[in-house]
Chain A
């Protein structure tokens, strides 16, 4: 029997927008990290007014609200862990306005990342943030997690490309905010807030002009460590290509088996380099970068012939997690970030940790940013393996922290790392964030139990750290 809350949603929005059947709700209970969420109801709104209406009803019925993009998040961010109303932005997926001369576009949150750049390429512009999930993840979700991607090395992450937002607050009121507004940077606070400060219903994004020339290179190395050393050396020499990505042997073989993109499948590690800019600089850039790669043990160096081959290499790189999914029973992707000179050391440490826990580990990561993604393969039916993955993951995070790094470079904190956050921030640091939360969501009705542990007042944070 429908609850009052469910009935009110149906009455206000109709059965096309509001979903209450258990079979329907199952579709809103998972993301790419966690699958056991339990929504009390879900809506698939067509416009911001429907979002506002639903939020008001949820508030009156004391139900939390959980915004959802495509559910590709890797930390449980979109999962309703405490019941409540899931708001899926799947239908609010339009490109609303394109202004090529001023290099901006206004989009709805449900627009798939790649669809934006595909739609505007013929005008000579593109949207830079390109998470590997860009074929399926939404720009709203990307804003929620401040998503990164291979090309963020030189272009910056999502937050550097958001110029303004429309959002619905915890009370169901609609607001707009823009970087050009006077006053505190509300826009900057909302980006990366993982749905805990507001529901983003429109995004004004910055566009960039497509570069005149693009080159992609593939270098083979004996192992991840030497490839990492090459990356540290390239950055250390003051060279910032557009992308610097590493895949180890396990990943490369899985990727090649599926995509046949032309990566050297027998190499211990592969370095994928992209340079872009004026044509005049391309040869010099190749000479310098290839030189550094060779000095650090590159066994081969090859340029992609044309746009088609470049696209194939990138499609394969971005499909790496999917390719692993085809050969492994289960896998778990960790996300952490270290200062870039620490990359070789951290990769060595990761290898040691994986060996200690007897877990096969693959590495596919945004090396130029020092952003690692060890991917551990396990079988979830084996409790001991599950525990090993958790322990190894924590050990990797602690190692990164000890090296001056942090516990998430791009996937966010979500549900997964909410108790780990206190490893990098003091009680006072977290209390400052709580002040912001108090402004936007004093009742903790927006995406509760994400980023911060429940009731994260100072004392409790301390207690959970000590425990």
Chain B
């Protein structure tokens, strides 16, 4: 049975939802839960709870909804201190006045929170240009299950004082503690943004992508989207569209556009649609939203990270196996970062359920390191989100045991059943 309340995960709903008003209370709630043997799941905006397995036990949901403030922001510092429950849109708004930004590039920024985005280890398409979020994270406060609130880093941009603990919590999916505060470097916002979309036929793909590598002005992001028509409009009758984002001064954008058009023209692509400023940002955001967008109740979305040069091979391997299993697919290949996102779906939920076992085994054998990013909860419950544990599993387990000895934080959600 799949339970559906905002806090339900898999077939479990919590007995209690807590919304602590400050960090000490949050830490207290965590400690009390751990003490009493309850299992806890920490909630931000619930946009990326689909990453990882549903918890094996689940008693208390802790929402960070009330911890939604900007704690420290002097634009002249190019740093900001945030409570973890603030939404990405809230951060963007705070930074906009000073023409600064943090490239979260995560889905559903009106709901998604800073803490959740970090805990999910979200890695967006512009990280090739601006770095991963963990590279901009300069400090953190985390509540641990013993009730302590621990700080790491600070508000300075360079800091070598003991272990870089903040990075431990990035991508830990709330299995080690609850991030309550995050400090970031902010970036000056490039004056202009332009996103070019062009149809990309299979026959010219390789040539085109090679040509992109030699552009004098490197794109801030470059993606190929195949399908996902509900989010990224179709061009001509081609399924695949090339999206190239440039950010910088007017002069740079104009030159980049000229060079891009000429490079694409040589590959036989005559038409390029251009979107500027907020229109460009909207297309990018829509594309990012597609990463986790389910297709009704009948899809599962996989994510694979790896070398940019192998992104096609990985994406096509998954798509090929999906086809063999009679499933349809949509995919995004990020040619700058190497991320491949593939959504697979049967003709109905029941149909996907029937073919998923074979499909999952096939794609995992073909593409090591594949993880499940999103999809229908009932379908996700059928498969393991992580696949084969990494060679460092023993170390991961030891870390988990040290930070959460009673396994009270989302037990079973993480890699290797942690």
Chain A residues proximal to chain B, CB less than 8 Å: 99, 101-104, 145-146, 148, 152, 156-157, 159-160, 175-177, 179-186, 188-189, 191-193, 197, 209, 212, 232, 235-236, 238-240, 278, 280-281, 284, 337-341, 366, 369-371, 404-413, 421, 424-426, 428-433, 435-436, 438-440, 451-452
Contacts and interface: CB of A to CB of B under 8 A. Distances in A.
6 contacts: A157-B158, A160-B135, A183-B414, A184-B176, A337-B157, A432-B148
Interface size class of B (residues with CB under 8 A): 35 or more
A157 B131 CA distance: 12
Interface in B316-348: 338
B165 interface: yes
Contacts of B142: 432
Contacts of B165: 432-433, 436
B158 A369 contact: yes
Interface in B177-199: 187-189
Nearest to A144: B160
B396 interface: yes
A182 B390 contact: yes
B383 interface: no
A192 B164 contact: yes
B392 A410 contact: no
A408 B152 contact: no
B160 A408 contact: yes
Given A156-B135, A185-B168, A439-B395, A337 B158 contact: yes
Contact of B151 (A366, A421, A425, A452): A425
A421 B158 contact: no
Contacts of B155: 339, 404
Contact of A436 (B159, B213, B399): B399
Interface string B12-37: 00000000000000000000000000
Contacts of A435: 399, 402-403
Contacts of B156: 337-339, 369-370, 404-406, 409
Nearest to B386: A182
Given A184-B395, A188-B168, 7 more contacts: A179-B132, A184-B176, A188-B164, A408-B160, A424-B161, A436-B163, A451-B162
A205 to B, nearest CB: 14
B402 A102 contact: no
Interface of B: 74-79, 98-100, 131-132, 134-135, 142, 144, 148-152, 154-165, 167-168, 170-172, 176, 187-189, 213, 216-218, 248-249, 251-252, 255, 305-309, 338, 369, 371, 386-387, 389-393, 395-396, 398-400, 402-403, 414-416
Nearest to A196: B163
Given A184-B171, A236-B76, A281-B248, A192 B160 contact: yes
B214 to A, nearest CB: 10
Contacts of B79: 339
A144 to B, nearest CB: 10
A421 B162 contact: yes
Nearest to B158: A409
Nearest to A102: B307
A410 B165 CA distance: 16
B41 to A, nearest CB: 18
Counting from the closest, the 6 A-B pairs by CB-CB distance are A188-B167, A236-B76, A238-B188, A409-B158, A280-B251, A435-B402
B216 A278 contact: yes
Contacts of B306: 180
A102 B309 contact: yes
B148 A428 contact: yes
Given A175-B392, A340-B76, A421 B161 contact: yes
Contacts of A430: 162
A154 to B, nearest CB: 10
Contacts of B392: 175-177, 181, 183, 186
B148 A189 contact: no
Q: Pick the most buried of B78, B99, B252: most chain A CB atoms within 10 A of its CB.
A: B78
Nearest to B154: A406
A104 B305 CA distance: 15
B74 A341 contact: yes
A181 B149 CA distance: 28
Contacts of A424: 154, 161
Given A181-B390, A238-B100, A432-B150, A341 B158 contact: no
B158 A160 contact: no
A373 B296 CA distance: 59
Nearest to A428: B148
Contact of A182 (B148, B308, B369): B369
Contacts of A99: 307
A340 B371 contact: no
Q: Pick the most buried of A188, A421, A452: most chain B CB atoms within 10 A of its CB.
A: A188
A432 B189 CA distance: 35
Nearest to B249: A281
Nearest to A198: B395
Q: Pick the most buried of B131, B142, B416: most chain A CB atoms within 10 A of its CB.
A: B131
Contacts of A146: 160, 164
Given A184-B176, A421-B162, A428-B148, A101 B396 contact: no
A278 to B, nearest CB: 5
A212 B218 CA distance: 10
Contact of B76 (A148, A179, A341): A341
Q: Pick the most buried of B163, B164, B176, B392: most chain A CB atoms within 10 A of its CB.
A: B163
B165 to A, nearest CB: 6
A173 B171 CA distance: 26
A296 to B, nearest CB: 14
B164 A180 contact: no
A370 B163 CA distance: 21
B92 to A, nearest CB: 16
